C-alpha cells in the first residue's frame, strides 16, 4: 500500500461527499487529511501512526487503517451506492457545482454528462427552480468546453498564451500589470491565466480586450474583473483580468498569485494575530495596511520573502527558507549549444549573452557525434571547437569559458567518445537521446555506465520527459539518486520549460548535488533559468546543493580537481 493510494482515496471520498451535499467543512477535512499526508515527506510505513499528523483525527484514521488493512473503504463504498460516478465528471463543467448537480440528479434522475446535454436540448433544465434559460445555455456550451478542451496546458503552451495577451496589454497601455496565478508560480501545467493590472480606463480596456481577434467568448465582466476565453492555434483557455488601484496592488498580486492553500495558511497566520488578509490589504486594529512590495508583505508577518514558486502547500510558511537557492545565486550556465551542432548562435555570441546576464562562467556543450540529427561533433570537429573555445576564453577577463560536451549515452550503454577525447575536455555531460522505449533495466544500465565514467560530471535531463508531450524513459529514481551519490555525479535540472527535468516532485530531500542549466540553443534561452530555479525552489533545494552557485574561483577549482572532488570545501 502506497501513500499516494491513500491520498487518492481521501480525495475521492471528499469528491463523493461533496456531491452527497455533506457538510463542506467535513469535505475539506478529508482534503486537508490528504494534503497532510502529501506534505509529509515520509512513506506510510515511516509515518506509522497517521493519527499523529495535523489534520488527521479519529475519523480519517479509521478510514485510512481500514483501507491499508483490507484495500477497501466502507465509507467510499457507501457513498458510491448513493452517488452515481457520472456526477463526478459533471463537476468539471464550469458553472456547475455540487448543489446544482445534486438538484439535477435528484429531480430529473440525470446521471451522466450525455444525459445532461440531452436534458438541456429538451429544455428540461430551465424548468428547474433556481435555473433559467441562461443557465441552461451556459451548461450546454460548458459541456462542449469540457469535452473538447484539455483540463490543463503544459507551461510551454501557457507561455505562448501569455505572450499573446501581453502584446495586447502593452498595446493598450496600462499603468502596470503582472501575471499571477499558477503560471507565476511556475506550475508545470495551468488551467487558466490570471493577470492583475492597474489602469484608469477599465471600461476602455475591457472593450479593447473583447475586440481582440483571439477572444472567442466573454465569460464575465464587471468593475473589478474581466474573464475571457481566448484561442491560440486551435487551443482555448480562460483568462482572468483583475483590476486594481494604487496602494492595493501588492496585496492583490499576492492574493491572486496563490496558491489557495498558501493563502489559507497566510490568513490563518494573520488571524492568530487578530488581523485579516484580503486582496485589498491587511486589516489591522489601526485600519487597512497596504504594502510597497511582496517582500514587505511577508516581512510584516515575520517571514522571509517566499518566492512565488514556493507558494504551494502552506508548508513553505512553516519552514526556514532562507538558504533556499535564488536566481541571483546562479553564477553560470553549464549546458548550451552553438552553431557547431544545433544551436542558433556562435560561441562568441553565447559568451556575449552570458556576460550580459552577469555570469562568471559558462560551459559550451554541443552534441556528440552520434546525434546526427543535431549535427553532432566528430572527434576532429570537437578538437577544433576546443581550440576555438580556449582562444575565446583568453579574450575575456570577466568570464571563464570552458570546453564541454553533451555526450550521448548510446543504446548499448557505451559512450560516444573514448578517454583520449574526454580527457581534453573541461567538463563532460552525459545524456540519453535515443532508444527511449527500453526497459527500466536497460535504461538504468546506460545511466550507470555513464555515471561510472570518471569524466562524466553530470547527467542532463535525466528522464527525457517533455511536459504534456511524452513521459520520458523508464528511470528507477531511487537507483538514480543512490548511484549519483555513490559516484559523485551531479544531476541536472533542465530549465527549458518544455522539460523541467528533473521535476520538483522527485528532487525533494535528496542528498545529491544538482545543477540547473538552460540547455540554451539560442541566446534568448538563457532566460529559461528562472523556470529551473522555480523547480529547485519547489523542491526546497538549498543553495549549497546547487553546483552552479559556486563562485568563479570555486568552480575553476572544481573543474581542475576532477569529478569526485568535494565541492563543499
Partner DNA sequence: GCCGTTTTCGGCCCGACTGTTTTCAGTCG
Number of residues that bind DNA (CB under 7 A): 63
- x/- map, 377-406, DNA, by CB under 7 A: ------------------------------
**Among positions 263, 341, 368, 515, the unique one binding DNA when judged by CB under 7 A:** 263
Work out whether 95 is an interface residue with DNA (CB under 7 A): yes
Work out whether 86 is an interface residue with DNA (CB under 7 A): no
CA–CA dist 248, 261 (Å, integer): 21
CA–CA dist 2, 42 (Å, integer): 11
CA–CA dist 14, 32 (Å, integer): 10
Work out whether 100 is an interface residue with DNA (CB under 7 A): yes
CB 468 within 8 A of CB 157: yes
Work out whether 268 is an interface residue with DNA (CB under 7 A): yes
Work out whether 183 is an interface residue with DNA (CB under 7 A): no
CA–CA dist 448, 489 (Å, integer): 10
126 vs 375, beta carbon nearer DNA: 126
Work out whether 165 is an interface residue with DNA (CB under 7 A): no
Task: Name the CA dihedral angle for 410, 414, 419, 424, rounded to a multiple of 10 degrees.
Answer: 20
65 vs 505, beta carbon nearer DNA: 65
DSSP assignment, residue 526?
G
Work out whether 60 is an interface residue with DNA (CB under 7 A): yes
- CA 150, 154, 158, 161 torsion-angle sign: negative
- Provide CB contacts within 8 A for 536, sequence distance 6+: 324, 325, 493, 504, 507, 514, 516, 546
**Among positions 86, 94, 468, 488, the unique one binding DNA when judged by CB under 7 A:** 94
**Among positions 4, 167, 175, 271, the unique one binding DNA when judged by CB under 7 A:** 271
CA distances in angstroms from 548 to 205, 346, 414, 494, 516, listed in the order given: 43, 22, 28, 13, 7
- x/- map, 39-58, DNA, by CB under 7 A: --------------xxxxxx
CB 329 within 8 A of CB 533: no
Work out whether 562 is an interface residue with DNA (CB under 7 A): no
Work out whether 120 is an interface residue with DNA (CB under 7 A): no
CB 429 within 8 A of CB 459: yes
Nearest in space to 435 (alpha carbons), one of 454, 418, 451, 413:
413
- x/- map, 417-456, DNA, by CB under 7 A: ----------------------------------------
51 vs 413, beta carbon nearer DNA: 51
CB of 77 to DNA, least distance (A): 15
Work out whether 130 is an interface residue with DNA (CB under 7 A): yes
Residue 562 CB-density burial (10 A; 0-12 exposed, 13-18 middle, 19+ buried): exposed
- x/- map, 191-230, DNA, by CB under 7 A: xx-x-------------------------xxxxxx-----
- CA 264, 266, 270, 275 torsion-angle sign: negative
89 vs 191, beta carbon nearer DNA: 191
List of residues contacting DNA (CB under 7 A): 23, 25-26, 28-30, 32-33, 53-61, 93-101, 126, 129-136, 138, 181, 191-192, 194, 220-225, 238, 240, 256, 258, 260, 263-264, 267-268, 271-272, 274, 276-280
Amino acid at each position: 500500500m502506497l501513500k499516494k493510494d491513500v491520498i487518492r482515496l481521501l480525495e475521492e471520498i471528499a469528491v463523493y461527499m461533496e456531491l452527497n451535499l455533506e457538510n463542506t467543512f467535513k469535505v475539506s477535512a478529508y482534503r486537508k487529511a490528504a494534503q497532510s499526508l502529501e506534505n509529509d515527506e515520509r512513506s506510510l510505513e515511516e509515518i506509522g501512526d497517521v493519527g499523529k499528523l495535523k489534520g488527521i483525527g479519529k475519523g480519517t484514521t479509521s478510514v485510512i487503517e481500514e483501507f491499508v488493512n483490507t484495500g477497501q473503504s466502507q465509507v467510499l463504498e457507501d457513498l458510491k451506492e448513493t452517488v452515481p460516478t457520472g456526477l463526478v465528471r459533471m463537476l468539471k463543467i464550469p458553472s456547475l457545482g455540487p448543489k446544482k448537480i445534486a438538484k439535477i440528479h435528484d429531480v430529473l434522475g440525470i446521471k451522466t454528462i450525455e444525459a445532461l446535454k440531452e436534458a438541456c436540448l429538451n429544455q428540461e433544465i430551465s424548468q428547474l427552480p433556481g435555473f433559467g434559460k441562461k443557465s441552461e445555455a451556459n451548461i450546454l456550451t460548458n459541456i462542449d468546453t469540457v469535452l473538447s478542451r484539455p483540463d490543463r496546458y503544459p507551461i510551454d503552451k501557457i507561455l505562448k498564451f501569455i505572450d499573446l495577451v501581453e502584446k495586447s496589454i502593452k498595446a493598450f497601455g496600462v499603468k502596470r500589470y503582472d501575471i499571477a496565478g499558477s503560471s507565476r508560480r511556475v506550475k508545470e501545467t495551468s488551467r487558466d491565466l490570471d493577470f492583475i493590472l492597474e489602469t484608469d480606463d477599465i471600461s476602455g480596456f475591457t472593450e479593447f480586450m473583447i475586440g481582440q481577434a483571439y477572444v472567442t467568448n466573454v465569460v464575465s465582466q464587471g468593475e473589478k474583473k474581466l474573464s475571457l476565453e481566448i484561442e491560440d492555434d486551435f487551443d482555448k483557455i480562460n483568462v482572468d483580468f483583475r483590476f486594481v488601484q494604487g496602494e492595493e496592488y501588492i496585496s492583490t498580486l499576492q492574493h491572486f498569485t496563490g496558491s489557495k492553500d498558501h493563502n489559507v495558511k497566510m490568513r490563518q497566520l494573520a488571524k492568530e494575530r487578530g488581523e485579516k488578509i484580503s486582496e485589498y490589504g491587511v486589516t489591522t486594529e489601526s485600519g487597512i495596511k497596504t504594502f510597497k512590495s511582496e517582500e514587505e508583505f511577508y516581512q510584516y508577518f515575520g517571514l522571509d520573502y517566499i518566492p512565488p514558486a514556493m507558494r504551494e502547500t502552506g508548508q513553505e510558511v512553516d519552514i526556514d527558507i532562507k538558504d533556499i537557492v535564488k536566481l541571483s545565486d546562479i553564477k553560470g550556465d553549464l549546458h548550451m549549444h552553438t552553431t557547431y551542432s544545433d544551436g542558433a548562435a556562435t560561441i562568441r555570441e553565447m559568451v556575449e549573452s552570458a556576460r550580459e546576464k552577469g555570469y562568471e562562467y559558462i560551459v559550451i556543450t554541443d552534441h556528440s557525434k552520434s546525434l546526427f540529427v543535431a549535427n553532432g561533433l566528430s572527434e576532429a570537429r570537437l578538437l577544433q571547437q576546443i581550440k576555438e573555445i580556449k582562444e575565446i576564453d583568453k579574450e575575456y577577463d570577466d568570464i571563464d569559458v570552458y570546453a564541454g560536451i553533451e555526450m550521448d549515452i548510446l543504446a548499448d550503454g557505451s559512450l560516444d567518445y573514448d578517454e583520449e577525447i574526454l580527457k581534453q575536455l573541461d567538463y563532460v555531460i552525459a545524456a540519453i537521446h535515443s532508444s527511449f522505449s527500453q526497459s527500466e533495466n536497460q535504461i538504468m544500465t546506460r545511466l550507470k555506465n555513464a555515471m561510472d565514467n570518471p569524466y562524466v560530471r553530470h547527467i542532463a535531463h535525466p528522464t527525457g520527459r517533455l511536459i504534456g508531450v511524452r513521459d520520458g524513459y523508464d528511470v528507477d529514481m531511487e537507483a538514480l539518486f543512490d548511484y549519483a551519490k555513490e559516484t559523485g555525479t551531479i544531476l541536472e535540472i533542465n530549465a527549458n520549460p518544455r522539460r523541467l527535468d528533473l521535476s520538483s516532485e522527485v528532487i525533494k530531500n535528496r542528498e545529491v548535488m544538482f545543477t540547473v542549466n538552460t540547455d540554451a540553443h539560442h541566446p534568448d534561452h538563457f532566460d529559461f533559468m528562472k523556470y529551473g530555479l522555480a523547480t529547485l525552489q519547489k523542491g526546497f533545494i538549498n543553495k549549497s546543493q546547487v553546483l552552479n552557485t559556486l563562485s568563479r574561483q570555486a568552480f575553476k577549482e572544481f573543474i581542475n580537481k576532477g569529478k569526485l572532488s568535494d565541492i563543499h570545501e
